[in-house]
Structure 1
Amino acid sequence: MRDIKQAFWIAGQNFYGWKKSPRIWMTFILAAILCLMLSDQIISHAIKYETILQVFEPFIWTYGDASSVMLSSLLLILLFADMPFISQATPYWLVRTKRKIWLAGQIIYVILATVIYNIFLAVMLGIMGAPFSFTGNVWSETAAMLGYGGGESITVPVSIKTMESSTPYMCAAIVFGLVLLYTLFIAVLMLFLNLAAGNMAGVIGAFAVSLYGLLLNPDVFRKLFHFTESQEYRANVFCGWLSPLNQATFPMHSFGYDYLPGIGMSMFIFAILIIALIGLSAVRIKGYNFSFTQTNE
């Protein structure tokens, strides 16, 4: 119990520094601007055609696109730029507790900060659509128009199969879970790489995973290789399974009639990856060489 309390104290100390950190404020300001940019099409469409939205639809449709998930996850690089969170208090904690307890505190902080960040994104998108929204658990007329091709040049990824297989509340919960697990995967990957290879390794790793996910896209293969319909389907399944970014997007999952990964399978894969990276971080912390020459941001 004492170890658990110490871990949460360490995590809380990291949160205490938020109010004094321009970097943290900048992260959330940029996240708000990103939400405004990503939701502009669907909200503008609702205004133009004088239709309404379900309150969670801006969030669902925005993060039904892999590029939006990737852009949001990249802001974690700024949020966690000071990984592994060595501060003036670190020597004190290392004397009073074990290295693994200190690491547990950092992991708790990473998890809670990532949850807060994703809740912030969802709330901001809900606020932006609030003047044109209702709270009922049914899809809106705007979604139906976009799903059936009434959006003209709109590129919002509104999926008919999404609307047919779920309700807005259930879909929002699934989308939130997928995005949360993906961003947690990126955050924990950064932590492990920073412990293993230095502070820049986490940044490089996050960018590399994002670039990998962006390139491993069915549209990229289609344009490069001019696939037939059969080959295009196989490429879609291939990308759906091998790209973490695609596994974080709701439409890139099986709804019972194809070979794409199921929602549960994607969540399981993310959970395994996150647990594995936490385990590797615990192993690496044993030989980590702490440096206290620079303790302030």
Structure 2
Amino acid sequence: MRDIKQSFQIAFYNFRLWKKNPRVIMTFALAFVLCLMLSDKAVSLARSYGTNMQILEAFVWTFGDGNSIMISSLLLILLFADMPFISQGTPYYLYRTKRSLWVWGQVIYVVLATVLYTSFLLAVSCIICAPLSFPGNMWSETGALLGYSGVGVKIALPASVKTMEMSYPYQCAAVIFLLTTLYSLVIASVMLLFNLCKSQFMGVISVFVLNLYGLLLSPQIFMTLFQLPQTMEYKANLAVGWLSPLNHATYYMHNFGYDYLPRIWMSTGMFGGILIIILLLICKMAHRYEFHFLQLNE
């Protein structure tokens, strides 16, 4: 129990460093701008047609798309740019606790910060569409317009008909929140791992490589790269749906009972397994990590 308390103390010490931190302020400011830009299309459409929106629809249509998830995860590079979070308090905690507890404190901090970041994206998306929204657990006229009329494709905000037919807004938003958080945690964990075993530069590169891998395995780019005919589109969707972590984080790229894409529980299980493996590697690398502290003369 004492070890758990010390790990959380280390994590909360990192949060105290957020106060007036320009890097943290910039991260959340850019996240706000990102939500504003991505949600504005749906809000503008609702205003132009005089229709309403469900309070969570802006989040569902925005972060139910893999590209939006990828862009939002890239902002974590800025938020976690100081990995592995070595500060003035690090020597104190290393002296008073075990190195393993310090590592667990960093892991807890990454998890809590990522959940807070995703919660911020959800809150901002809801606030943006709040003047036009209702809280009921049913899809709005705007959602139906986006999904069934083809308007969504024209404004580059295609609402998945499969999403609307197989779920309700609150349940759908909860799953999207979970998938987005898990993908972001994988990104942050990979970054922490490479920071420990290589360098901060390699940690940043690892995030870009992982996101680039997911981007190249989008159905359209996959078919273009391999010059596949349109008759192979379904098989291409299946292949990238299973191979790409980014597609595992995309809600509509899942099996809802009538195809062979991964189910939600499979994707969450896959992310959980990846996180456990990365966590074990982080613990191993942390024991080999060499700390360098400079004593400054006052």
TM-superposed CA distance for 1:20, in Å, is: 2.5
2:27 aligned partner: 27
Q: In the alignment, which residue of structure 1 is the partner of 2:146?
A: 146
In the alignment, the residues of structure 2 paired with residue 68 and residue 180 of structure 1 have an alpha-carbon distance, to the nearest angstrom, of: 13
Give distance in 2, aligned partners of 1:265 and 1:140.
30
TM-score (normalised: structure 2): 0.96
Alignment of 1:268-283 (within 5 A): 268-283=269-284
Deviation, 1:161, is 0.9
2:158 corresponding residue in structure 1:
157
Identity %: 56
Runs of 4 or more above 4 Å deviation: none
1:150-229 alignment, distance < 5 Å = 150-151=150-151, 153-229=154-230
Q: How many residues of Structure 1 are paired with residues of Structure 2 in the alignment? A: 295
Displacement of 1:225 in angstroms is 4.4
Whether the 8 Å contact between 1:62 and 1:157 is mirrored in structure 2 is no
Please, what is the CA RMSD of the aligned residues? 1.3
- What SS is found at the alignment partner of 1:174? helix
Give per-residue Cα distances to partners, 1:237-257, cap 9 Å, x unaligned: 111111111111101111111
Q: Could you tell me which residue of structure 2 aligns to residue 124 of structure 1?
A: 124
Give the secondary-structure state (helix, strand or coil) at the position aligned to 1:252.
coil
Q: Which residue is 1:40 aligned to?
A: 40
Shift of 1:259: 1.0
Matched, 1:102 2:102: yes
Displacement, 1:230? Answer: 3.7
- Report the Cα offset of residue 188 of structure 1: 0.8
CA distance in 2, matches of 1:61, 1:50: 19
**1:198-219 superposed Cα distances (whole Å, 9 cap, x missing partner):** 1111101001001111111111
Cα distance in 2, alignment partners of residues 138 and 294 from structure 1? 61
1:150 positional shift: 4.3
Q: Is the 8 A contact 1:86 1:292 kept in 2?
A: no
Q: CA deviation at 1:294?
A: 9.6
Contact 1:216 1:243 in 2 (8 A): yes
In 1, the alpha carbon distance for the partners of 2:227 and 2:211 equals 24
- State the Cα distance separating 1:223 from its structure 2 match: 3.3
**C-alpha separation between the residues in 1 aligned to 2:60 and 2:213?**
23
Tell me what 1:235 maps to.
236
How far is the alpha carbon of 1:65 from its aligned partner? 1.1
| Change beyond 3 A, Cα 1:246–1:293 | farther
- Give the aligned partner of residue 54 of structure 2: 54
User: How far does residue 4 in structure 1 lie from its aligned partner after superposition?
Assistant: 0.8
CA distance in 2, matches of 1:251, 1:83: 33
User: Partner letter of residue 179 of structure 2?
Assistant: L
C-alpha distance in 2 between matches for 1:224 and 1:101: 46
Once the two structures are TM-superposed, the CA of residue 221 in structure 1 deviates from its matched residue by 2.5
State the one-letter code of the partner of 1:271.
G
- Work out the CA distance in 2 between the residues paired with 1:135 and 1:36: 20
CA distance, structure 2, for counterparts of residue 102 and residue 136 of structure 1: 44
